[in-house]
C-alpha cells in the first residue's frame, strides 16, 4: 500500500494521511504533487511524503516518528 | 545526461532549492526528476522483497523539504544525491543486519556501503547501502531494532525541538542523553555479539561430543560463560531502556516548556 502523509515537523504531528493501492502509484504521485502545490500556494511549510509499506502497522514500525509522541517512541525496547 | 535530464539542469534546480526560491515550475521539474527513479526503485525493492522475503518500507521519492534541508546543510549537488529513492529495513539485531547486508551485496549492483556502526554519525548507527539500477542510485537503510529506536528518537527531537540535534547541535541536555543512548546501543551490540560467539563455541563442543575425547570442564566453563553473558545482555537492555526513558521524558518536558 502507498501512504501519502502530510506532516507538520515543528509540532511533530501528521496533518493528513491518504492510502492508495500499490497499483495506483501514478495516482499517488499525482496526489503528492497536488498537495505540495496547494500547500505552497497557501504558504504552508509541511513535509509531504509518499511511503510504501505492507500495511499501516508496518508503516508505524519503520516510520514511528510521524505517528508517535516522545512518550511512546521507545516503549518495548527490551521486549 | 541523466535519463532525459541534463545534469546541469538538475543542479541548477538544486541551487534554487538550496536558496529557498522555488517556483511552481521548479516543483514540477523536481517531481519529474523524482519520478524517473520509480522504475529502478521498484526493481531494487522487488529484489529485497522476493529474494530475501523481507518487508521494507519504501520511500519512492524523498520529500521536497528533506531534499531542500540536505542541500542547505551540505555542499552536495542535487544530481549527486544518493537517497532520492530508497527503502528501510528494521531487523532484530546486528547478526541479522550483517546477514542482510551480505545477501544484498550479492543480489544487487551495490555502489557503496556506509557502515555507521564503525563510524556513527552524531550517534546515528545503521548500515546504508546504495544499489545502482539503470544509472539511478537507490538507498537501502538497514537498522537493528535498537538503532531504529534511537534514530526515531533523534529525528523526532530534530523535528520538534531543534533540527540541528541530528547533526550534533541543539540543547546540551538532549544531546548528552542521545549520546549516552547511542553508546548504550553500541554496548548492547557488543554483548549480543559476545553472546552469539559463546553460543557458537558451545554448539561446536557439543557437535564434537562422541567423536573424540572432549573436556567436560571446557563445556562447563562455556555454559557458565553463556549464563554470565546472557545476564549482562539482560542488564544491558535494562540500562538502555532506562536511558531511553530518561531521554523521552526530558524531550517531552522540553517540548511542553518551549
Tens of pLDDT, residues A22-39: 999 999 999 999 999 999
What pLDDT shows up at residue A78?
47
- Is residue A75 scored above 70 in pLDDT? no
What pLDDT shows up at residue B61?
92
What pLDDT shows up at residue B213?
60
The rounded average pLDDT for each run of 10 residues, N- to C-terminus, in chain B (258 residues) is 82 96 94 96 94 89 94 95 96 94 96 96 97 96 94 93 91 92 94 91 80 72 89 86 82 72
Do A77 and B64 make contact, defined as CB atoms within 8 angstroms?
A: no
What pLDDT shows up at residue B1?
56
Average pLDDT over chain A reads 91
A33 touches chain B (CB under 8 A): yes
Q: How far is CA B14 from CA A35, A36, A42, B67, B78, in A?
A: 21, 17, 23, 9, 5
What pLDDT shows up at residue B236?
86
Pick B59's closest partner by Cβ from A49, A58, A65. Answer: A49
Interface-testing mutation among A3, A7, A28, A65, with chain B (most B C-beta atoms within 10 A): A65
Nearest CA-CA distance, residue B197 and chain A, Å = 21
Cell of B244: 531511553
What pLDDT shows up at residue A79?
44
Give residue limits of the domains in chain A.
2-75
What pLDDT shows up at residue B239?
84
Amino acid at each position: 500500500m502507498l501512504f501519502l502523509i502530510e506532516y507538520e515537523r515543528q509540532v511533530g504531528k501528521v496533518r493528513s494521511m491518504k492510502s492508495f493501492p500499490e497499483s495506483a502509484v501514478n495516482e499517488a504521485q499525482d496526489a503528492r504533487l497536488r498537495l505540495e502545490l496547494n500547500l505552497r500556494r497557501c504558504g504552508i511549510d509541511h513535509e509531504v511524503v509518499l511511503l510504501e509499506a505492507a500495511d499501516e502497522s508496518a508503516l508505524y514500525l519503520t516510520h514511528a516518528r510521524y505517528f508517535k509522541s516522545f512518550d511512546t517512541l521507545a516503549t518495548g525496547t527490551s521486549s | 545526461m541523466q535519463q532525459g535530464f541534463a545534469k546541469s539542469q538538475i543542479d541548477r534546480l538544486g541551487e534554487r532549492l538550496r536558496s529557498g526560491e522555488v517556483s511552481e515550475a521548479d516543483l514540477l521539474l523536481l517531481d519529474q526528476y523524482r519520478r524517473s527513479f520509480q522504475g529502478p526503485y521498484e526493481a531494487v525493492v522487488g529484489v529485497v522483497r522476493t529474494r530475501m522475503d523481507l518487508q521494507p518500507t519504501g520511500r519512492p521519492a524523498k520529500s521536497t523539504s528533506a531534499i531542500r534541508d540536505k542541500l542547505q546543510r551540505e555542499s552536495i549537488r542535487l544530481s549527486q544525491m544518493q537517497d532520492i529513492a530508497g527503502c528501510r529495513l528494521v531487523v532484530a539485531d546486528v547478526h541479522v543486519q550483517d546477514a542482510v547486508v551480505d545477501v544484498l551485496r550479492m543480489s544487487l549492483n551495490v555502489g557503496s556501503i556506509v557502515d555507521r556502526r564503525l563510524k556513527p554519525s552524531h550517534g546515528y548507527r545503521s548500515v546504508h547501502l546504495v544499489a545502482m539500477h539503470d544509472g539511478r542510485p537507490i538507498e537501502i537503510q538497514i537498522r537493528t531494532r535498537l538503532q531504529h529506536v534511537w534514530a526515531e528518537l533523534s529525528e523526532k527531537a530534530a523535528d520538534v525541538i531543534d533540527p540541528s540535534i541530528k547533526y550534533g547541535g541543539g540543547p546540551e541536555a538532549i544531546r548528552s542523553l542521545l549520546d549516552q543512548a547511542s553508546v548504550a546501543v553500541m554496548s548492547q551490540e557488543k554483548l549480543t555479539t559476545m553472546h552469539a560467539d559463546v553460543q557458537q563455541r558451545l554448539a561446536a563442543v557439543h557437535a564434537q561430543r562422541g567423536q573424540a575425547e572432549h573436556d567436560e570442564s571446557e563445556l562447563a566453563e562455556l555454559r557458565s560463560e553463556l549464563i554470565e553473558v546472557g545476564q549482562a545482555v539482560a542488564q544491558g537492555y535494562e540500562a538502555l531502556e532506562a536511558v531511553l526513558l530518561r531521554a523521552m521524558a526530558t524531550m517531552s518536558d522540553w517540548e511542553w516548556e518551549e
